[in-house]
Amino acid sequence: MQPNDTQAAEECESEGRATSMNVLWIMADQLRWDYLGCYGARHIETPNLDWLAGRGVRFNRAYVQSPICGPSRMSYYTGRYVRSHGSTWNGFPLRVGEPTLGDHLREVGVKCALVGKTHMTPDREGMKRLGIEPESAIGALVAECGFDAFVRDDGTNHSDYPGRHAEDYELYLREQGMEGENLWEEWANTAEGPNGELRSGWLLQNAPYAARVPKEHSETAWLTTRGIEFIEAHGDRRWLCHLSYIKPHWPYLAPSPYNGMYSASDLPPVNRSEAERLSDHPLMRAWMGMRVSKSFSRDEVRSLVAPVYMGLIRELDDQLGRLFAFLEDSGRLEDTMIVFCSDHGDNMGDHWMGEKDLFFDCSVRVPLIVYTPRAEADSTRGSSTDALVEGIDLAPTFIEYFGGPSKPHILEGRSLAPLLRGQETEWRTFCVSEYDYSTRDARREIGIDQTDARLAMIFDGRWKYIHVEKMRPMLFDLESDPRELNDLGANPDFREQADRLKALHFDWSRRHHSRITRSAEDIEKMTDDREPPGILIGYRDRGELEADGLALPSHADK
Amino acid sequence: MQPNDTQAAEECESEGRATSMNVLWIMADQLRWDYLGCYGARHIETPNLDWLAGRGVRFNRAYVQSPICGPSRMSYYTGRYVRSHGSTWNGFPLRVGEPTLGDHLREVGVKCALVGKTHMTPDREGMKRLGIEPESAIGALVAECGFDAFVRDDGTNHSDYPGRHAEDYELYLREQGMEGENLWEEWANTAEGPNGELRSGWLLQNAPYAARVPKEHSETAWLTTRGIEFIEAHGDRRWLCHLSYIKPHWPYLAPSPYNGMYSASDLPPVNRSEAERLSDHPLMRAWMGMRVSKSFSRDEVRSLVAPVYMGLIRELDDQLGRLFAFLEDSGRLEDTMIVFCSDHGDNMGDHWMGEKDLFFDCSVRVPLIVYTPRAEADSTRGSSTDALVEGIDLAPTFIEYFGGPSKPHILEGRSLAPLLRGQETEWRTFCVSEYDYSTRDARREIGIDQTDARLAMIFDGRWKYIHVEKMRPMLFDLESDPRELNDLGANPDFREQADRLKALHFDWSRRHHSRITRSAEDIEKMTDDREPPGILIGYRDRGELEADGLALPSHADK
């Protein structure tokens, strides 16, 4: 901790409990916005999230900066677009020196802790270049994307993360009496079939079977407990706790009773069209042709998997109920901002696709609920807004909540504070999401070089424009076609709209995003000063100099 | 030094003198391309640079990435565009973690040393965030833009640089018996008038007087000597020495006899037109209206200053003669690549402007001469090329010369090696330069916000297109208008050209530039692997899995 952090922290401490403020930032993984009751879902119940929405603001148009875990999260954690932080795909390290939410919060004396998943891959090469030991205090922060890792767990047991706490869940399961070589794989990701046979969570056909792990010890329950432990341990100090769940991300396996809570008959109809299936767009064709897309396009598979996906959401909601009850009982609801969001959705067979690729709303639009205890938000409780918000808006929101500086030269998002207060405010007119498919096999099929495997979405609240390098764009009118079934990108009647959105994309592309070492205030001051002291440019003689109120730095010409 | 660097260095050492290779990279500051004999100048003699050009390749179309010292140099030193490294103006720190030429060379065991100027401002905030002590070995490298500073000297005595060697020139002058409080200011930047009175180098009217410092002890002579000392001390080890002169940059004051070597009658005619003066472009009007531009637009001022500017160039050329003789005598011409370039030019009254702002050829086009001792370049000695090269091409050229990896995911320039060998090669079709005028007072006059104070030049070898945020573009046809006097940006007849170049600007803006932690090889391998080991997505059953040659990681479903 830097000296000024200690000072800031002490100042806060001395103000005592009355002004202490915390943030509990809950993230689900791969959770669709339209699978929550408060977002209008009628096929699933999420009473606890609905309760939260009733006390806070529900954002109807929250978009993530990439439909993929890693880049989306790096945007959340830096408050910067993917093109800016450069971690464009899972496992692409976040470059050393990229400022994180944790860095900004530590400056104002706030602990920024992690309980769960980040999908961060450390930039070991960069750290080595700068002589930063991964074992040092700063090295650990750099490796953990700026978070103090109370618990780090990325879900499956195969990720290459620094792992200070990576084995926590393994150890926990062992303490509960479970045995095996890889406890996550053998208990959380293995089900017991009707005849006691073991069935792997990696196979979609096994989705309906109950995970071997009982619900009390699932990843979702365990992370909830760890989150509560963190809060109990840090009570009156100012903290942000990023409670980052792994579910309802695949593998699609739920503990009893969640595995059997829903059935195929509960599912909403799949959202796809024959016209889509016949699309002439090479990218659509390639993505619909992926194995995972073909799997999820089979009704039989979706009927097996989606009910379990819903069960996992229900399980999450139940655990959040336990968490919210704890907050209420401990008085923390009075001083804790609670934010709930997701890193992206799940296509789940919609648009003939599996996984979360591309930019359909089922993937790139996420649930976002923000509750703040402050009285200034009383007028917006239980309301919703259609403002176009982005994942990168959370970091500036938190920093402002803790009284930190806004740093727009680094943070590209905008604080949601005015929206939470219900203030009239000039808001952004479009949002952006990006997708780098350079490591996707389909890239080779289409014949695209790895440097050109780039997509960008521009969405202005009605028109969704997808820039596709080397191919024609895609275009959807969400007003006339809210289900996004009709790609207008090749339709000359909509050329004008496409051109307008393309121009917005260009505008956005030109913006500064690497000029992060000089603040707006610095720049205004430099403009006032004109030149550094002692530097005099273009003066013919002393008269000209004096007319500008300047003097020579030496004894010459005096 | 990292362990692998030591190893690489030792391997090189063991290969001995026969394969040892060095690079002497000479940079002048604010030197116009058209003030050198080998570039066709008839008003000035530069026999030593002409001699170098006779042994190497002269680049006719070398463009810097910004017409301003700091950003141009940061591009040279990182091999990356200004929008990528983010140090867009003098004094805007290069963000910590931005990989430099020095970092890349150290990886292959090559010492990368500095003798002279870099205009680097360290990112102290970023260093603090990462716990990098400025006094540590790595801290010093980070603060010196990746260079081992043998001598660091930025010219005037007012720069805020870390200064391990900043006082070298002061100390040197004192050792020579000069006295005063600020020896640079009082001797190098002060002249003696006809009556023995002291005259400041900051006043343009004093340009014709001889600097008080004798030519043997001028900054140019002193840096030359320090360069020779470096080479003598590092003889047979592999090194790159960046000998980076401060002159002919202002203050325009030369020691005798260079102050009086040229007169107004030697000057080439000023390059400007009445049509330019009447330009309706707000940017042109604001820049022509700057005090420094008004000064240099007075014939009287240009007649005083430009001959001294020429004298400073002649002095530099004389000192290079001494340096080249040393290299020849010491045998270093046999194993040393010699590169000569400039960081930008000087408008010197052309286009009604002073200083180096905007993108006219007198500013953004620079001299570039490359001599390599290797036999493979024998066929190109004394030749020139019109290939569109950029300042960022030097870093990759040096890395390739020393046998290092090309790293196109970090380095945006291209090695000049094929051009030096005279090989047919597919080369870039346009080059780019950028200018951030956010700290310029003129920005306020025009009424432009600091985030919009951005210009970009796209030059394809004939058409030069200047994107101006919030204003119309400028456009010049260098075929019909090589003097760039006729801005076609408002002429509807050239709309098609402007649109074509605008599209190139957009293409360039969309390219990856922050995705620096994954190499092309990494990405191809990830594409081959499809998913990390143990991760299985979208398989319905074991049959599908086995059809893909995969197996489950657990004992389930066996």
Q: Do B441 and A190 touch (CB under 8 A)?
A: no
Nearest chain B Cα distance for residue A203, angstroms: 5
Nearest CA in chain A to B97: A97
Q: How far apart are CA A316 and CA A28, in angstroms?
A: 8
**Residue B165 confidence (pLDDT) above 80:** no
Of residues B83, B509, B527, nearest to A443 (C-beta): B527
Q: Do A439 and B527 touch (CB under 8 A)?
A: yes
Nearest CA in chain B to A250: B537
Of residues A85, A99, A200, nearest to B556 (C-beta): A200
**Residue B295 confidence (pLDDT) above 70:** yes
Nearest CA in chain A to B95: A517
Of residues A136, A510, A514, nearest to B84 (C-beta): A514
Per-block average pLDDT, block size 10, for chain A (558 residues)?
A: 42 45 97 98 98 98 98 98 98 97 96 95 95 93 94 70 59 93 91 94 96 97 97 90 97 97 97 96 96 96 98 98 97 96 98 96 98 95 98 98 96 98 95 97 94 97 98 98 98 98 98 96 92 86 91 82
Is the ipTM reported for this complex over the cut 0.90?
Answer: yes
Cβ atoms B296, A538 nearer than 8 A: yes
Q: How far apart are CA B402 and CA B99, in angstroms?
A: 17
Of residues B198, B514, B530, nearest to A514 (C-beta): B514
Residue A533's pLDDT is what?
75
Nearest chain B Cα distance for residue A368, angstroms: 27
Query: Within 13 Å, how many C-alpha atoms sit on residue B211's CB side?
Result: 29
- Average pLDDT in the B169-198 region? 92
Q: Determine the straight-line distance between the first and last CA of chain B, rounded to whole angstroms.
A: 51
Nearest CA in chain B to A301: B540
The backbone torsions φ and ψ at residue A369, rounded to the nearest 5 degrees and listed phi first, read -125, 130
Nearest CA in chain B to A106: B129
Q: Do B138 and A157 touch (CB under 8 A)?
A: no
Q: Do A523 and B95 touch (CB under 8 A)?
A: no
Neighboring chain A residues of B186 at a CB cutoff of 8 Å: 554-556
Residue B164's pLDDT is what?
38
For testing the chain B interface, which of A515, A530, A555 should be mutated: the one with the most B CBs within 10 Å?
A515
The average confidence (pLDDT) of chain B is: 93
At what angle are helices B47-55 and B299-329 packed, to 10 degrees?
A: 50
Of residues B186, B436, B541, nearest to A203 (C-beta): B541
Of residues B514, B545, B555, nearest to A198 (C-beta): B555
Of residues B137, B200, B516, nearest to A554 (C-beta): B200
Nearest CA in chain A to B468: A510
Query: Within 13 Å, how many C-alpha atoms sit on residue A435's CB side?
Result: 23
Of residues B103, B203, B438, nearest to A539 (C-beta): B203
Three-state DSSP class for A98? coil
Q: Do B97 and A204 touch (CB under 8 A)?
A: no
Characterise A496 by phi-psi region: left (phi > 0), alpha (psi -120 to 50), beta (else): alpha
Of residues B292, B526, B532, nearest to A538 (C-beta): B292
Q: What is the DSSP string of B388-420?
A: -EEGGGHHHHHHHHTT----TTT--S---HHHH
- Rounded to the nearest angstrom, the gap between the alpha carbon of residue B366 and the centroid of all alpha carbons in its chain is 9
Q: Is A195 exposed, middle or buried (0-12, 13-18, 19+ CB in 10 A)?
A: exposed
Residue B157's pLDDT is what?
65
Neighboring chain B residues of A99 at a CB cutoff of 8 Å: 126, 129
Residue B163's pLDDT is what?
41
Nearest chain B Cα distance for residue A126, angstroms: 7
Residue A205's pLDDT is what?
96
Nearest CA in chain B to A445: B527
Cβ atoms B370, B53 nearer than 8 A: no
Residue A478's pLDDT is what?
98
pLDDT above 90 as % of chain B: 87
Nearest CA in chain B to A296: B538
Give B330-342 pLDDT, tens digit per residue: 999 999 999 999 9
Residue B531's pLDDT is what?
80
Of residues A156, A199, A538, nearest to B295 (C-beta): A538
Nearest CA in chain A to B522: A439
Q: Do B94 and A182 touch (CB under 8 A)?
A: no
Of residues A292, A469, A538, nearest to B538 (C-beta): A292
Q: Do B142 and A125 touch (CB under 8 A)?
A: no
What is the amino acid identity at position A323? L
Instruction: Give, for A388, the enclosing helix (H) or strand (E).
Output: strand A383-390
CB pairs under 8 A between A and B: 300
Q: What is the pTM of this model?
A: 0.94
Give B47-91 pLDDT, tens digit per residue: 999 999 999 999 999 999 999 999 999 999 999 999 999 999 999
Residue B315's pLDDT is what?
98
Q: Do B189 and A535 touch (CB under 8 A)?
A: no
Residue B529's pLDDT is what?
87
Q: Report CA Rg, chain B.
A: 25
Asked, as a colleague might, if the bond just before B553 is cis with ω within 30 of 0, I would say: no
Cβ atoms B457, B464 nearer than 8 A: yes
Question: Could you tell me the sign of the dihedral formed by the alpha carbons of B89, B93, B95, B97, in that order?
Answer: positive
Q: How many CB atoms lie within 10 A of CB A384?
A: 16
Residue B428's pLDDT is what?
97
**Residue B415 confidence (pLDDT) above 90:** yes
Q: Nearest to residue B206, comparing CAs of B310, B91, B308?
A: B308
**Residue B482 confidence (pLDDT) above 90:** yes
**Residue B14 confidence (pLDDT) above 60:** no
Nearest CA in chain B to A452: B511
Neighboring chain B residues of A89 at a CB cutoff of 8 Å: 518, 526
Two structure tokens written together for B451: 């985030």
Q: How far apart are CA A282 and CA A278, in angstroms?
A: 11
Neighboring chain A residues of B126 at a CB cutoff of 8 Å: 97, 99, 517
Neighboring chain A residues of B204 at a CB cutoff of 8 Å: 538-541
Neighboring chain A residues of B206 at a CB cutoff of 8 Å: 556-557
Q: Do A532 and B206 touch (CB under 8 A)?
A: no
Nearest chain A Cα distance for residue B42, angstroms: 27
Residue A160's pLDDT is what?
42
* Per-residue exposure over B189-201, b if at least 16 CB sit within 10 Å of its own CB, e if not: bbbeeeeeebbbb
Nearest chain B Cα distance for residue A276, angstroms: 21
Give B525-542 pLDDT, tens digit per residue: 999 987 877 789 999 999
Q: Do B95 and A516 touch (CB under 8 A)?
A: yes
**Residue B478 confidence (pLDDT) above 80:** yes
Residue B12's pLDDT is what?
42
Two structure tokens written together for B81: 């565009």
Neighboring chain B residues of A535 at a CB cutoff of 8 Å: 156, 158
Nearest CA in chain A to B536: A202
